[in-house]
Amino acid sequence: MAAQSFNTIVRYSLRPTSILVITALIIASCTSSEKKRLRTARKQQEKDSLMLVYDATKADQRLEAFMQRLHSRSGFNGNVLIAKKGKILYQNTFGWADYLMKDSLKITSQFELASVSKPLTATGLLKLWEEGKIKLEQTVDEFFPDFPYSGITIKQLLSHRSGLTNYLYFTDKLWPDKRKGMSNMDVMELLAMHKPEKYANPNVRFFYNNTNYMILAAIIEKVSGQDFAVYMQENVFGPAGMKNTAVYSTAVYEKIPTGVIGHDRVWRRSVVQNFQDGPVGDKGIYSTVQDLFLFDRALQEERLLKAETLDSAYAGHSTPTKEIFNYGYGWRTFDPGNHKVVYHTGWWHGFRNLYIRDLKEDITIVLLTNLANGSLLNLDEMYQILDMPVIRQGAYSSQGEFMAN
Nearest to 203 by CA among 250, 270, 268, 136: 136
Conformation bin of residue 400: beta by default, left when phi > 0, alpha when psi is -120 to 50 = left
**pLDDT tier for residue 4 given thresholds of 50, 70 and 90:** very low
**pLDDT for 134-147, tens place per residue?**
999 999 999 999 99
Computed over every residue of the chain, the mean pLDDT equals: 92
Query: Helices H, strands E: what count in the chain?
Result: 13, 12
CB-based burial, 326-357: b 16+ in 10 Å, e otherwise? bbbbbbbbbbbeeebbbbbbbbbbbbbbbbbb
Q: DSSP secondary-structure letter at 235?
A: I
Asked if pLDDT for residue 203 goes beyond 80, the answer is yes
**pLDDT tier for residue 22 given thresholds of 50, 70 and 90:** low
Cα–Cα dist 388/360, whole Å: 10
The distance in angstroms from the start CA to the end CA of the chain is 97
Average pLDDT rounded to a whole number, residues 225-243: 98
Asked if pLDDT for residue 2 goes beyond 50, the answer is no
**pLDDT tier for residue 40 given thresholds of 50, 70 and 90:** confident
The pLDDT assigned to 34 comes to: 79
Average pLDDT rounded to a whole number, residues 241-258: 96
Average pLDDT rounded to a whole number, residues 142-162: 98
Percent of the chain with pLDDT over 90: 83
Percent of the chain with pLDDT over 70: 91
The pLDDT assigned to 38 comes to: 78
CB 212 within 8 A of CB 199: no
Asked if pLDDT for residue 286 goes beyond 80, the answer is yes
Nearest to 265 by CA among 116, 345, 374, 367: 374
Is 249 a catalytic site residue? no
Asked if pLDDT for residue 207 goes beyond 90, the answer is yes
The pLDDT assigned to 75 comes to: 95
Asked if pLDDT for residue 227 goes beyond 60, the answer is yes
Q: Which residues contact 154 (CB under 8 A, 6 or more apart)?
A: 125, 129, 134, 135, 136, 137, 138, 139, 140, 216, 219
CB 227 within 8 A of CB 184: no
Cα–Cα dist 332/196, whole Å: 27
- 5, 104, 115, 249: the catalytic one is 115
Average pLDDT rounded to a whole number, residues 263-275: 82
pTM: 0.90
The pLDDT assigned to 55 comes to: 92
Asked if pLDDT for residue 98 goes beyond 70, the answer is yes
Cα–Cα dist 261/369, whole Å: 10
How would DSSP label each residue in 80-145? EEEEETTEEEEEEEESEEETTTTEEP-TT--EE-GGGHHHHHHHHHHHHHHTTS--TT-BHHHH-T
CB-based burial, 23-37: b 16+ in 10 Å, e otherwise? eeeeeeeeeeeeeee
CB 130 within 8 A of CB 306: yes
Cα–Cα dist 100/367, whole Å: 22
Task: Specify the range with the lowest mean pLDDT, choosing from 95-99, 154-158, 268-272.
Answer: 268-272
The pLDDT assigned to 27 comes to: 62
The pLDDT assigned to 324 comes to: 97
Structural domains in the chain, CATH included, are 74-395 (3.40.710.10)
* Phi and psi torsions of 35, nearest 5°: -60, -40
**pLDDT for 302-348, tens place per residue?**
999 999 999 999 999 999 999 999 999 999 999 998 899 999 999 99
Asked if pLDDT for residue 7 goes beyond 90, the answer is no
